[in-house]
Structure 1
Amino acid sequence: MKLMKKLSWFFKLEKRRYIIGILALSLVSLVNLIPPRVIGQVIDEIAGRSLPQQELVYNLLLLTASAFVMYGLRYLWRLYILGTANHLGRILRFRLFEQFTLMSPSFYQKFRTGDLMAHATNDINAVVSVAGGGVMSAVDASITALVTLITMFFLLDWRLTVIAILPLPFLSWGTGLIGRRNHESFKAAQEAFSDLNNTVQESVAGIKVTKSFGYQAAESRSFAATNQEVYRKNVLAAKYNSLFDPLVLVFIGLSYTLTLLFGGIFITQGQFTVGELVTFITYLDMLVWPLQAMGYLFNISQRGLVSYERIELLLAQESDVKEAAQPLPAAKNGRLDYAIQRFSYDAGQETLHDIHFSLEKGQTLGIVGQTGSGKTTLLRLLLRERDIQEGAIYLDGQDIRRYRLADLRRLIGYVPQEQILFALSIRDNIRFANPELTDRQIMEAARLCGVYEDIKAMPEGLDTVIGERGLSLSGGQKQRLAMSRALITKPEILILDDSLSAVDAKTEHEILENLKTERDGKTTIITAHRLSALVHADLILVMEDGRIKERGTHQALLAQGGWYAATYQNQQLAESLEEGTHEKTSDL
């Protein structure tokens, strides 16, 4: 089978455990032949009135012993086959998670979060079912069928055996016909489950927005439509799946009919005994399970194959950002040089063009500009979330593509526009990069970022659990906690991507003053809409449509009288008016 071949690497890895399990399963099939044979002999002896008490006791002990042996053997094969299959699930989950951590942002634009969750749960479970129940069904069905047919053929009557199995080739043809439809229906059902998973994930993540717009009813209708489609596709898959067992029973029923008809003829002719016919029918009944097992195997193999191909598709994805073939042994902070001729996302419209500037180690760079001007893209290229098509970024005289990704990113503390906080305590969020950090170090980082008093005011302090994505915190608290997490590692390069937009001007000024004192000799890069945050920067870039429109210090840019000067004056005027309004309100 195709999937079994694909999983051959795992079977080789766990061959010892599978061999033990298969041996135990094979012995079960052999021991399982004993009870029908014993029962048939007892029936013949009872019919002939020649069953001594001693032989009856012996037969009862033999039946009891075979039952205990089968109990022990069944425990073994379940442990070594079904138990080992769970190891496959652990390996695949780890491979997928590791793949997710290595992928660049373009991967997450291509694959939705709900899809990835479905791959890591439902698809893996389907594959594990094949490695466990599938292997069991294949081995048990094959051995049981083979041993039973040989016993029927050689120990009972070969003619009746041939007659009894005449309907089975037609059964094989029927299951193959259903199987092709089954494969397509399973594939559609798995894809529908991914859509459902993604819908639920997005709905839960955006529940605040949904409620704020009063969109609950429409969202419920949308979910109901998706849910109905999943139901419809799973029902279709279940319909094809449910055809297997009735098909098996129809052809087995024909086998029973032929057996009773010709078995009765052989008995009347004195060529067969009643006990032998009972034994034969019991063996024939034992063939029902192998045939049903093959149908079950076919079903889960189809589902498993679809799921494994979906997993393979994910594992085959390659990151846009490649490690250097011969990376430098270490990365260190130094002069930062941008020399970008051109950069665009996915061969689309140019995002950056002709970006050239330098920043000495320990200096502060400010980047401003309207939304969509390319500010965040400049920062992400330094983090190597993407690579430049034409040009390069140099750190300490070396193209950053020559550094190992881990070494480069270890130098950088990054606070993005959208803060990602985890459903953990404040302590665990701040010391995320190093769980060994002390509470004293955590509170020092919180003090630098102006969130120290907020934490102290919380009933449980550092032990406060903030909820998923910081649900229980204000926007300003989220930003300052995220900044604390970045600062606590004492990065050589700190990137603040509009990370103070949710705090007031006074708090922003205090934080920036703390950073100026704390980060002496270290490089800081800040993007901001509030230009007062950049007055002390050593170099300020004004971005427009992916180009540098203006550059210089705060004073130099004011002297130029361009966009920066006009925007700064407007912001100062707005702040003055706001302060005046506040003072009048206080007097009242």
Structure 2
Amino acid sequence: MKNLFYLNKYILNYKWHFLTGTLFVAISVVFGIFPAQYIRNSFDKVEEVIQLYQKGNAIDYTSIGSVLAWYAAVIVGASLLKGAFTFFMRQTIIVASRRIEYDLKNEIFNHYLLLDQGFYRSNSTGDLMNRISEDVSRVRMYIGPAVMYGINVFITLAIVIPIMYSISPKLTVYVLLPLPVLSFLIYKVSRRINERSEAVQRKLSDLSTLAQETFSGIRVIKAFSKEHFFTDLFSEESADYSRINERLYRVNALFMPLVMFLIGLSTLITVYIGGLETLSGNLTTGNIAEFILYVNMLTWPVTSIGWVTSIVQRAEASQKRINEFLQTKPNISNPTKESFEFKGKIEFREVTFIYPDSGVKALDKVSFVIEPGSTVGIVGKTGTGKSTIAALILRQYDPTEGIVLADDRDLRTINLENYRKAIGAVPQDSYLFSDSLFNNIGFGLDTAEEEIIYTSAELADLADNIKDFPLAYQTRVGERGITLSGGQKQRTALARAIARNPVLYILDDCLSAVDTETEDRILKNLRSLTENTTAVIISHRISSVKDADQILVLDQGKIIEQGTHEQLIAKGGLYAELYIQQTQSANVEADLN
């Protein structure tokens, strides 16, 4: 259980809940004993009356009725109090487990947010979700029901068995014989149920993933007319899920019959051995009734031992998985709380970067300087390291070799939160949240003001599109912005960056889905914005960067050309070649139109 020791800090936080819950368990067990004892007294009293009647003695029925009524009142009252304290027990221990579940989920979620980009490249979203949902739920079952029933078992056995033994050691031994067997069998059945439950969960995860990917990629599916293919695929997966569920139900079907059989066996032994002892004069009929109630009191606690053991095993495995992530240290973290005011200067000195998960060298000895207030364009073919430069400027990664500086300070030594707040980044994949356009544009602001949102949309050439939507800025964009076109998503992401009024813009191929005319309008707007700010424009289009103060041409992770548009055209190198190709393509398109 060493992995579960991690939860001790939470248990200590709610120690009074658990201590009070333990007290309530003990009280509920004590009140559970009273009905058995008074039922014994009732049977014995009735037997006494029968014997008096058989001997022809006078019977005071009023007195007997009063005694039996008192016994009935005690039995009912004790049962009600037992129920009340059982309720209090659940309101303390189970409530504490729910609060610990809440705290643990928040801890995991907050830790996820601290982890760097490399972590998310090497771990799937489904696995992250399972650890914060399924695994935490299993851990909660250990903290709540397993702890509660564990305490209940211990207290019940500690109180009831000595009472039974004091009445009849022989009957106690016989009655308890099936219970360890019951506990062992329940443990074995529970393990099989858990194994098959896990298989069901894994299959359900696969089924959910397939459904999510299908709905997310519905445009592509319809474009390629693959609806029937995915219908058949989902049917196959559903059939597999159904077959695995059937195997689980077959094992589940054994559970209650097994429990009822062994409970019945204990009851039969109680009646048979108790009857023999009664005939021998060692016990009364009231003792037999009392023992039957004690057997019923012990059955569930003893049965739950196997179930609790299984829960603990599952919780141990789940907490181990949770601990793996909680013990993962972020490679990128905020090194200081010292305030940092970014002015806009970026410098790369002999920077080499190799992606840790794939081993691909993205940059090789790259050096350049971006002066405050200047615009730098970065062009090159696909896979030449353009987006890697953006990631390093944002410090999503640290360079393998070399150094990245912000205002002549090593990026690894400055307040990362202050630094990133001064940047407006628009990545290649324009991720939008399932929220309104207004909130998506104002995402980077502490307080979203209408004037800022509207102005940003205008500058991103998005305002006219938004006016055409029935709900305008309150239009919800759907998951990942699925209700918008590619160009609209990119312009919304651009408006989000503009709204921050940053010191540094990083535009990573963020206009690839818009036409050249729209691109020209947006770039003109951006030039008016970036007169006093720094801008890094990454693009495969020469038209996006030709007006930049400095253009870097990348090839195989190296800067092979550097200069203004006119200088690079005059050199006749790769930049000039790309420019000619794109100019010819544009001319051909114009002729066709």
Q: Same fold (TM over 0.5)?
A: yes
Counterpart for residue 511 of structure 1: 522
168-177 or 439-448, which deviates more: 168-177
Counterpart for residue 123 of structure 2: 111
Q: In 1, distance between residues paired with 2:343 and 2:201?
A: 48
Q: Is residue 244–residue 295 contact of structure 1 (8 Å, CA) maintained in 2?
A: no
Given candidates 455, 475, 480, the residue that maps to 2:491 is: 480
Shift of 1:12: 1.0
> TM-score, normalized by length of structure 1?
0.92
Counterpart for residue 152 of structure 2: 140
Q: In 1, distance between residues paired with 2:509 and 2:89?
A: 59
Q: Is 1:300 matched up with 2:311?
A: yes
Shift of 1:423: 1.4
Spell out structure 1 runs of 4+ moving beyond 6 A.
none
Q: Is residue 368–residue 540 contact of structure 1 (8 Å, CA) maintained in 2?
A: yes
Given candidates 502, 505, 509, the residue that maps to 1:494 is: 505
**Match of 1:52, SS?**
helix
Q: Deviations over 1:138-161 (max 9, x none)?
A: 12222223222122112x212211
Structure 2 residue runs of 5 or longer lacking an equivalent are 50-58
Given candidates 320, 327, 337, the residue that maps to 1:316 is: 327
Counterpart for residue 364 of structure 1: 375
**Match of 2:225, SS?**
coil
Q: Is residue 144–residue 287 contact of structure 1 (8 Å, CA) maintained in 2?
A: yes
Q: Deviations over 1:122-149 (max 9, x none)?
A: 2222222222222221122222232221
Residues 311-460 of structure 1 mapped to structure 2, 5 A cutoff = 311-324=322-335, 329-346=339-356, 348-434=359-445, 436-460=447-471
Cα distance change, pair 275–54 in 1 and its aligned pair in 2 (3 A)? same
Counterpart for residue 545 of structure 1: 556
Q: Is residue 427–residue 442 contact of structure 1 (8 Å, CA) maintained in 2?
A: yes
Q: In 2, distance between residues paired with 1:299 and 1:234?
A: 19
Identity among equivalent positions (%) equals: 33
Cα distance change, pair 60–255 in 1 and its aligned pair in 2 (3 A)? closer
**Match of 2:366, SS?**
strand
Q: In 1, distance between residues paired with 2:10 and 2:256?
A: 30
Counterpart for residue 294 of structure 2: 283
- Give the aligned residue type for 2:25: L
Q: In 2, distance between residues paired with 1:53 and 1:260?
A: 27
562-571 or 181-190, which deviates more: 181-190
Residues 180-191 of structure 1 mapped to structure 2, 5 A cutoff = 188-191=199-202
**Match of 2:525, SS?**
helix
Q: Is residue 327–residue 402 contact of structure 1 (8 Å, CA) maintained in 2?
A: no
Q: In 1, distance between residues paired with 2:116 and 2:250?
A: 41
Q: Is residue 179–residue 299 contact of structure 2 (8 Å, CA) maintained in 1?
A: no
Cα distance change, pair 185–405 in 1 and its aligned pair in 2 (3 A)? farther
Shift of 1:285: 1.9
Shift of 1:4: 5.6
Residues 14-163 of structure 1 mapped to structure 2, 5 A cutoff = 14-49=14-49, 52-154=64-166, 156-163=167-174
Q: In 1, distance between residues paired with 2:195 and 2:324?
A: 18
Cα distance change, pair 252–11 in 1 and its aligned pair in 2 (3 A)? same
Shift of 1:569: 2.7
Shift of 1:186: 5.5
Q: Is 1:8 matched up with 2:8?
A: yes
Shift of 1:21: 1.8
Cα distance change, pair 545–302 in 1 and its aligned pair in 2 (3 A)? same
Q: In 2, distance between residues paired with 1:86 and 1:557?
A: 64
Q: Is residue 183–residue 304 contact of structure 2 (8 Å, CA) maintained in 1?
A: no
Q: In 1, distance between residues paired with 2:108 and 2:252?
A: 29
Q: Deviations over 1:15-70 (max 9, x none)?
A: 11121222112211110111121112111111221662221222222123223322
Q: Is residue 186–residue 303 contact of structure 1 (8 Å, CA) maintained in 2?
A: no
Shift of 1:356: 0.9
> TM-score, normalized by length of structure 2?
0.91
Q: Is residue 423–residue 504 contact of structure 2 (8 Å, CA) maintained in 1?
A: yes
Q: Deviations over 1:51-90 (max 9, x none)?
A: 6222122222212322332232122112112122111221
Counterpart for residue 567 of structure 1: 578
**Match of 1:20, SS?**
helix
Q: In 2, distance between residues paired with 1:454 and 1:486?
A: 18
Q: In 2, distance between residues paired with 1:228 and 1:314?
A: 34
**Match of 1:486, SS?**
helix
Q: Is residue 351–residue 364 contact of structure 2 (8 Å, CA) maintained in 1?
A: yes
Q: Is residue 466–residue 473 contact of structure 1 (8 Å, CA) maintained in 2?
A: yes
Q: In 2, distance between residues paired with 1:448 and 1:338?
A: 30
Q: In 1, distance between residues paired with 2:361 and 2:539?
A: 23
Counterpart for residue 228 of structure 2: 217
Q: In 2, distance between residues paired with 1:242 and 1:152?
A: 33
Given candidates 475, 480, 489, the residue that maps to 1:464 is: 475
Q: In 2, distance between residues paired with 1:5 and 1:528?
A: 52
Shift of 1:187: 5.2
Q: Is residue 343–residue 390 contact of structure 1 (8 Å, CA) maintained in 2?
A: yes
Shift of 1:536: 1.4
Q: CA RMSD in A?
A: 2.5
Q: Is residue 114–residue 195 contact of structure 1 (8 Å, CA) maintained in 2?
A: no
Q: In 2, distance between residues paired with 1:112 and 1:221?
A: 26
Q: Deviations over 1:212-243 (max 9, x none)?
A: 22233333444445455555555556666665
Shift of 1:113: 1.6
Q: Is residue 426–residue 510 contact of structure 2 (8 Å, CA) maintained in 1?
A: yes
Counterpart for residue 586 of structure 1: none
Residues 231-250 of structure 1 mapped to structure 2, 5 A cutoff = 246-250=257-261
- Give the aligned residue type for 1:351: A
Q: In 2, distance between residues paired with 1:114 and 1:180?
A: 25
Q: Is residue 123–residue 311 contact of structure 1 (8 Å, CA) maintained in 2?
A: yes
Cα distance change, pair 416–48 in 1 and its aligned pair in 2 (3 A)? same
Cα distance change, pair 416–269 in 1 and its aligned pair in 2 (3 A)? same
105-114 or 179-188, which deviates more: 179-188
**Match of 2:562, SS?**
strand
Q: Is residue 115–residue 195 contact of structure 1 (8 Å, CA) maintained in 2?
A: no
Q: Is 1:529 matched up with 2:537?
A: no
Counterpart for residue 585 of structure 1: none
Q: Is residue 4–residue 316 contact of structure 2 (8 Å, CA) maintained in 1?
A: no
